[in-house]
Amino acid sequence: MTIRHFLRDDDVTPAEQAEILALAAELKAAPLSRRPLEGPRGVAVMFEKNSTRTRFSFEMGIAQLGGHAVVVDGRDTQLGREETLADTGRVLSRYVDAIVWRTFEQTRLDEMASAATVPVVNALSNEFHPCQVLADLQTLKERKGSDLTGRNLTYLGDGANNMAHSLMLGGVTAGMNVTIAAPEGFEPFGWIVDAAQKRAAETGATITLTNDPRAAADGADALVTDAWTSMGQENDGRDRVAPFRPFQVNAELLARAAADVTVLHCLPAHRGEEITDDVIDGPRSAVWDEAENRLHAQKALLVWLLERFARGER
Ligand code: CP
Ligand code: NVA
């Protein structure tokens, strides 16, 4: 069987993404209906950065699929003493049926995946957060209907972070017209824009990059934001407050969006910075459903990977 990984949003085709999201809705309605990890079979869940949602949702989701999650801080493993990523991938593949990993550079995930003989899932890297975007799309489908084609998703904030990149790539995969509004110098990485343009050409979606938050918010069906300082950027020497102030998701920007706009934030939120209390706690916010959907979307992803692409031969 061919092995498949989920390291970035375009690792699945538009049809495959739709299939995973349909399964996520099924699992939300019937949480214990699929038990591919019965045995129990194991999943390694490793973190090199902090986490609340990802840790709890994967650990509970794997239990609901009948399996056992081995959750470790990556820094406590021999990775912290320079065992190679490839050797770690080979060894973990002998114990577990999938590897879920939160780390820094995307190249680290690529290296692990190149040697692993089980699916590797990106639980957040510097460049991408594809599991989060599956949950975001599930949340939007719940509110806008199952076909998101032609809907306008606007992200405001750091355009060069994992959420901006994954929303761009995952959003156009779902056929959404994605606008990324960021301060000058914080635009998305060019190579990721190129990948998203390629995917957009397949689905008929559009990508707009702008430094104008007001124009970006006009008529948006979804307004999304994220931390101005991502994990690992705390000491990068850049001013991550003043240039971002005009991009705050507040009542004024909300008023420019569609009347039925849905506000998303992957959380944790920095209230008063990228989003105001009245917006995150207000009627247009779907952030708590979005957090819940991490559980359902990730279970669907694991079922999909394990049933179709588990354990490659090398
Ligand atoms: N949204 C998200 O990934 O949250 P955690 O960092 O708490 O896992
Ligand atoms: N962009 C944020 C997302 C946190 C879930 C970070 O990487 O810290």
224: tokens are: 């999304």
**Complex-level ipTM beyond the 0.90 threshold:** yes
**Using CA atoms in the order 285, 289, 291, 296, what is the torsion angle rounded to 10 degrees?**
-150
Q: Is 266 a catalytic residue?
A: yes
Determine, yes or no, domain membership for 314: no
The three-class DSSP label of residue 97 is: coil
Determine, yes or no, domain membership for 287: yes
What are the residues facing 285 on neighbouring strands?
263
State the Cα–Cα distance between residues 229 and 291, nearest whole angstrom. Answer: 20
State the Cα–Cα distance between residues 52 and 187, nearest whole angstrom. Answer: 27
258 with 299, same domain: the answer is: no
Number of domains in the chain: 2
252 with 137, same domain: the answer is: yes
Q: Is 64 a catalytic residue?
A: no
Determine, yes or no, domain membership for 1: no
176: tokens are: 């959404």
Closest atom of ligand 1 to CA, residue 131:
3
174 with 232, same domain: the answer is: yes
Q: Whose CA is nearest to atom 8 of ligand 2?
A: 230
CA neighbor of 230 nearest in space, from 136, 127, 135, 156? 127
Determine, yes or no, domain membership for 2: no
143 with 284, same domain: the answer is: yes
CA neighbor of 224 nearest in space, from 257, 175, 195, 185? 257
Cα within 13 Å of Cα(188), Cβ side: 28
Q: For position 101, which CATH number holds?
A: 3.40.50.1370
Give the position of tokens 């890297």: 125
108 with 78, same domain: the answer is: yes
**Residues annotated in a binding site for L-ornithine:** 162, 226, 230-231
State the Cα–Cα distance between residues 83 and 312, nearest whole angstrom. Answer: 23
State the Cα–Cα distance between residues 85 and 83, nearest whole angstrom. Answer: 7
pLDDT of residue 304: 96
- Tens place of pLDDT per residue across the chain (314 aa): 578 999 999 999 999 999 999 999 999 999 999 999 999 999 999 999 999 999 999 999 999 999 999 999 988 999 988 899 999 999 999 999 999 999 999 999 999 999 999 999 999 999 999 999 999 999 999 999 999 999 999 999 999 999 999 999 999 999 999 999 999 999 999 999 999 999 999 999 999 999 999 999 999 999 999 999 999 999 999 999 999 999 999 999 999 999 999 999 999 999 999 999 999 999 999 999 999 999 999 999 999 999 886 655 43
State the Cα–Cα distance between residues 92 and 43, nearest whole angstrom. Answer: 9
Domain containing residue 305: 9-128+293-309
Q: Is 34 a catalytic residue?
A: no
Q: Whose CA is nearest to atom 1 of ligand 2?
A: 230
45 with 99, same domain: the answer is: yes
110 with 177, same domain: the answer is: no
Determine, yes or no, domain membership for 214: yes
